[in-house]
Structure 1
Amino acid sequence: MADVPDTELATLPLDAWHRARNGRMVPFAGYHMPVQYEGIIAEHRWTRSHAGLFDVSHMGQLIVPLDATATLETLLPGDLQAMSEARPKYSLLLNPTGGIVDDLMITKRPDGWYLVVNGATKHGDMDVLRAAGLAFTYLADQALLALQGPDAVAVIAAHAPGVSELGFMQAGAFDLGGVQAWISRSGYTGEDGVEISIPASAADAIADLLLADERVRPIGLGARDSLRLEAGLPLYGHDLDETTTPVAADLLFAINKRRRAEGGFAGSDRILAELEQGAITRRVGFTVEGRQPVREGARILDVEGNEVGRVTSGGFSPSLEAPIGMGYVATHLAEPGTALTLEQRGKLFSAAVARLPFVPHNYHRKGKTA
């Protein structure tokens, strides 16, 4: 990523807030966004040990009417009919050939199906919904913040009583410092934490409120990427795209039992066949010998030197102090421990398939203390 030139990029509600705190702004998903403040490794480690505040207002927030459930199920492989209110689920927007148009979070709320979609794909997602005849409301005036890390819930619970009672993947409406907020106990770092939807007009006040706690620091895109990579979480446009199926992407949990039995969602014939027979390729994690990261696009070779896949995400893990990555390989090579060779700019690196996540998730499961 490079510093942002003078372009037609959009600005986040907190644009001035980031700049005032020396956020280095870069172009991402059509917006000026902060890539770092004090440094990626320091921000990464702070989130793992305390609480990091992320601005993810570039994400798209949509409301689809509840009476459109049947139509929505033609696009998503989740069992929406069985979903309980205020229980977010990870799901996938699929194309007719079973490719992933986007990955998203969906929650049943009293006002409709609440979808949080990726920033770079949100307008294309809305086109897919329109083409299916779905009405929806784009919540363009809502900001989205994420507070992640072991101290995150304790910090926000001081201003939004009741949040600490949420378990992982539970959500609800709360008063947060006098602002009406929709808060879900979820995130994209592998840590405990929350995502907070608030009116954009209140973003500065809420960000200041949270940052006033000494356990909280602002965190940029750089650490967000290294955190999600350690957690083994795919990034759309890199690890997922419209040529990738949920089976190849190792996202089978997003296809619920009823949908596997009945089908009826976009690309279901291909996906259900892959569930039974296996996909040709599969997303895996891998560790790399040495200290140098191997980046997206590098070739993956088997022990005989044949190309068997490509790296889709790669970087240095601050937690493990070693290079890690994800990519797609021929399915017969997806077993943890399998030796691989990575080729980047003519240089070869020894690697091995690793179990995901690289760093254990620290989600707060229901029944445990906050």
Structure 2
Amino acid sequence: MSDEEPADIVHTLPLDDWHRERGARMVPFAGYQMPIQYEGIMPEHLWTRENAGLFDVSHMGQLLLSGDGLDDALEAVLPGDVKGLTEGRQRYSLLLDDNGGILDDLMFSRFPDGIYMVVNGATKWDDIAHLHEALPEEININHLDERALIALQGPKAVDSLQRLAPGVEKLVFMTCGKFDLAGTEAWVSRSGYTGEDGYEISIDAEEAERVADLLCAEPEVKPIGLGARDSLRLEAGLPLYGHDLDTDIDPAIAGLGFAIPKRRRTDGGFPGAATVVKHLAEGAPTKRVGLKLAGRQPAREGAEIYAGDTLVGKVTSGGFSPSLQAPIAMGYIAAAHAATDTALQIDVRGKRLDATVVPMPFVPHRYVRGS
């Protein structure tokens, strides 16, 4: 399997024909043709909030890392607690550069045969190259490009999936395992990026159409496009790499300090530790905040944020919230203006819109957590 991205190629997903047969509008994203919507972003968004939506996220990079000394090697690359991760558990973490800037955000899980990692589609080739360079030769990095990845999200996801993969209902948020899903081995985690309860399901790409058909035959499930995935994650206050996260942002600025446990803050030993730990302890100069706008006109990525006549920040994600029926945004502003209820203005095409700093998530998370 190659770890180099072929130049000037737009890839297709294992479910490409399946999406088109169901009327999906396909657009290029992260080097792939992906379904942005089927019947429309608004109804797909609301269906997922109330039922269960099937998302194709096979563009993301699935990696399996193994070898002697794996935990120590990964803790030199990630700021998370790898050593404390037990089998069947999953954690959110980050790849950082030497200044603490975010190269990517990711999920990693403990499997019996190593660490399973899911990285963003737009950055996966750079991530693989970075890991090859940063990790010792003893560590094997297997790019699982023969596997598809689908996400089943929404309050009724458990109802539909447990009929096809008995036992998945016993998982709680950020736990995982291998299950028989209608005759195929599925790697299932109870996680996702919508703020809803749900699952991410890794299967052999050759089984993707059959499994997607089975899931969408369940009364709770409809296929959902990339557009609703974006509006759902914005309502959930979840940052998107390349928009809300990049190498100019460190975990403290991004409000992701939860991904760096006390032991790692004390011991350091990860890229950019000095900067990140200082910002976590003393406060970062800028902060990621939620913004609720007056009226109904949304502010989009790049819109400037003002306190009076002073430019204090910029919107990184914004849109109209289908659940709240109001415009919302997230962005970075100077820490002095980041307190909840601070009144600001956002410049949208030369017009100043009133906005207020609000807590995130905009819509409460509904993860099913263990006791």
1:44 and 1:309 map into 2 onto residues whose CA distance is 29
2:134 and 2:52 map into 1 onto residues whose CA distance is 40
Counterpart for residue 92 of structure 1: 94
Counterpart for residue 3 of structure 2: none
Given the alignment, which residue of 339, 355, 365 partners 1:351?
Answer: 355
Which range moved further: 146-155 or 272-281? Answer: 272-281
In 1, are the aligned partners of 2:195 and 2:365 still within 8 Å (CA)? yes
1:116 aligns with 2:121: no
Counterpart for residue 257 of structure 1: 262
Please give the secondary structure, in 2, of the residue aligned with 1:41. helix
Alignment of 1:265-304 (within 5 A): 265-302=270-307, 304=308
Measured against aligned partners, the alpha-carbon deviations of 1:48-88 in whole angstroms (never above 9, x if no partner) come to: 00000000000000011153221111111111111111111
2:217 and 2:297 map into 1 onto residues whose CA distance is 37
**Residue identity matched to 1:112:** G
Identity %: 59
Counterpart for residue 172 of structure 1: 177
Please give the secondary structure, in 2, of the residue aligned with 1:158. helix
Q: CA deviation at 1:133?
A: 3.2
In 1, are the aligned partners of 2:74 and 2:135 still within 8 Å (CA)? no
2:359 and 2:89 map into 1 onto residues whose CA distance is 28
**Residue identity matched to 2:73:** T
Alignment of 1:196-207 (within 5 A): 196-207=201-212
1:323 and 1:256 map into 2 onto residues whose CA distance is 34
1:309 aligns with 2:310: no
1:240 aligns with 2:240: no
In 2, are the aligned partners of 1:192 and 1:362 still within 8 Å (CA)? yes
Which range moved further: 39-48 or 77-86? Answer: 77-86
Counterpart for residue 364 of structure 2: 360
Given the alignment, which residue of 53, 71, 80 partners 2:82?
Answer: 80
Alignment of 1:124-139 (within 5 A): 124-134=126-136, 135-139=140-144
Measured against aligned partners, the alpha-carbon deviations of 1:69-123 in whole angstroms (never above 9, x if no partner) come to: 2111111111111111111100011110100000000001111110000000000
**Residue identity matched to 1:21:** R
Which range moved further: 273-282 or 44-53? Answer: 273-282
Q: CA deviation at 1:241?
A: 0.3
1:153 and 1:333 map into 2 onto residues whose CA distance is 41
Please give the secondary structure, in 1, of the residue aligned with 2:158. helix
In 2, are the aligned partners of 1:51 and 1:216 still within 8 Å (CA)? yes
**Residue identity matched to 2:24:** G
Counterpart for residue 160 of structure 1: 165
In 2, are the aligned partners of 1:66 and 1:113 still within 8 Å (CA)? no
In 1, are the aligned partners of 2:25 and 2:38 still within 8 Å (CA)? yes
Q: CA deviation at 1:214?
A: 1.7
Alignment of 1:95-106 (within 5 A): 95-106=97-108
List structure 1 runs of 4+ shifted beyond 6 angstroms: none
1:340 and 1:238 map into 2 onto residues whose CA distance is 21
Counterpart for residue 323 of structure 1: 327
Q: CA deviation at 1:365?
A: 1.4
2:273 and 2:19 map into 1 onto residues whose CA distance is 43
1:365 and 1:247 map into 2 onto residues whose CA distance is 25
In 1, are the aligned partners of 2:55 and 2:150 still within 8 Å (CA)? yes
**Residue identity matched to 2:364:** P
Structure 2: 5+ residue runs without aligned partners? 1-7
1:44 aligns with 2:45: yes
**Residue identity matched to 2:114:** G
Structure 1: 5+ residue runs without aligned partners? 1-6
**Residue identity matched to 1:359:** V
Counterpart for residue 11 of structure 1: 12
TM-score, length of structure 1 as denominator length? 0.96
In 2, are the aligned partners of 1:75 and 1:95 still within 8 Å (CA)? no
**Residue identity matched to 1:332:** A
TM-score, length of structure 2 as denominator length? 0.96
Q: CA deviation at 1:8?
A: 3.2
1:111 and 1:209 map into 2 onto residues whose CA distance is 29
